[in-house]
Amino acid sequence: MTPHILMIAPLFPPFRGAVSSRLSSFARHWSKFTKVTVVTPYAEDETVGYNRIIFPLTRWRLEPLRIPYTIPKLLRIVHRLKPDIVLSSIPPVWSLLEGYLLAKRLQIPLVLDVRDLPTSDVRHSRMSIWRKIFRFFSISTAKYLIQKASQIVTVTEYFKKDLYDFLKLPSKDISIIHNGAEIRHFKDKLQVEKKFDIIYSGSFPFIRDQEALLKFFSILIQLYPRLKVCFSSNLNTPLGRHFLTLADKYNLRNHFELIDMCDPEFLPYRLKSAKLGISPLRYGFDPYRGVISAKVFEYLAAGLPVLGLSDPEYYVEEGKLIFDNDAGIVDPDPKELAKKTVILLNNPFRMKEMSKCAKKVGEMFDRGRLASEYYEKVIRPLFK
Q: Compute φ and ψ for 251, nearest 5 degrees.
A: 60, 50
- Using alpha carbons only, what angle is made at residue 306 by residues 272 and 335, rounded to the nearest 5 degrees? 125
The per-residue pLDDT for 108 is 96
Cα distance between residue 339 and residue 216, in whole Å: 10
pLDDT of the residue at 64: 77
Q: What 3-state DSSP class applies to 195?
A: coil
- Assign 140 a pLDDT band (cuts: 50, 70, 90): confident
Is residue 264 helix, strand or coil?
helix
Query: For residue 302, is pLDDT > 60?
Result: yes
- Is the CB of residue 156 less than 8 Å from the CB of residue 317? yes
Confidence band, pLDDT 50/70/90 cuts, at residue 188: low
Question: Does position 93 have pLDDT exceeding 90, yes or no?
Answer: no
Query: Which range is most confident: 133-147, 155-169, 347-361?
Result: 347-361
Overall residue count recorded for the chain in this entry:
384
Give the percent of the chain with pLDDT over 90: 63
Query: Which one is predicted more confidently, 118 or 218?
Result: 218
Cα–Cα distance, 10 to 73 (Å, whole number): 16
Of 60, 75, 50, nearest in space to 10 by CA: 60
Question: Measured between alpha carbons, how far is 33 from 41 in angstroms, rounded to an integer?
Answer: 25
Q: What was the pLDDT predicted at 85?
A: 96
CA angle 378/379/380 to nearest 5° reads 105
**CATH of the domain spanning 5-180+366-383:** 3.40.50.2000
Contact 185, 262 (CB under 8 A): no
Are 318 and 294 in contact, with CB atoms under 8 Å apart? no
pLDDT of residue 84: 96
Q: What's residue 290's pLDDT?
A: 86
- Say whether pLDDT at 171 is over 90: no
In the chain, where the domains are located: 5-180+366-383, 183-363
Give the pLDDT confidence score for residue 124 in this predicted structure. Answer: 46
Task: With cut-offs at 50, 70 and 90, classify the pLDDT of residue 65.
Answer: confident
- Average pLDDT taken over every residue of the chain: 90
Out of 86-95, 239-248, 337-346, give the one with best mean pLDDT: 337-346
Q: What's domain 183-363's superfamily in CATH?
A: Glycogen Phosphorylase B; (3.40.50.2000)
Give the pLDDT confidence of 16-54 residue by residue, as tens digits: 888 888 999 999 999 999 999 999 999 886 667 899 999
Distance CA 164, CA 171 (A): 8
Q: Same CATH topology for 5-180+366-383 and 183-363?
A: yes
* Residue type, position 317, single letter: E
Spatial contact of 154 and 114, defined as CB atoms under 8 Å apart: yes
User: Which DSSP category does 9 fall into?
Assistant: -
Q: Terminus-to-terminus CA distance in the chain, angstroms?
A: 8
Between 123-132, 249-258, 276-285, 350-359, the lowest mean confidence (pLDDT) is in 123-132
212-245 pLDDT per residue, tens: 999 999 999 999 999 999 999 988 888 889 999 9
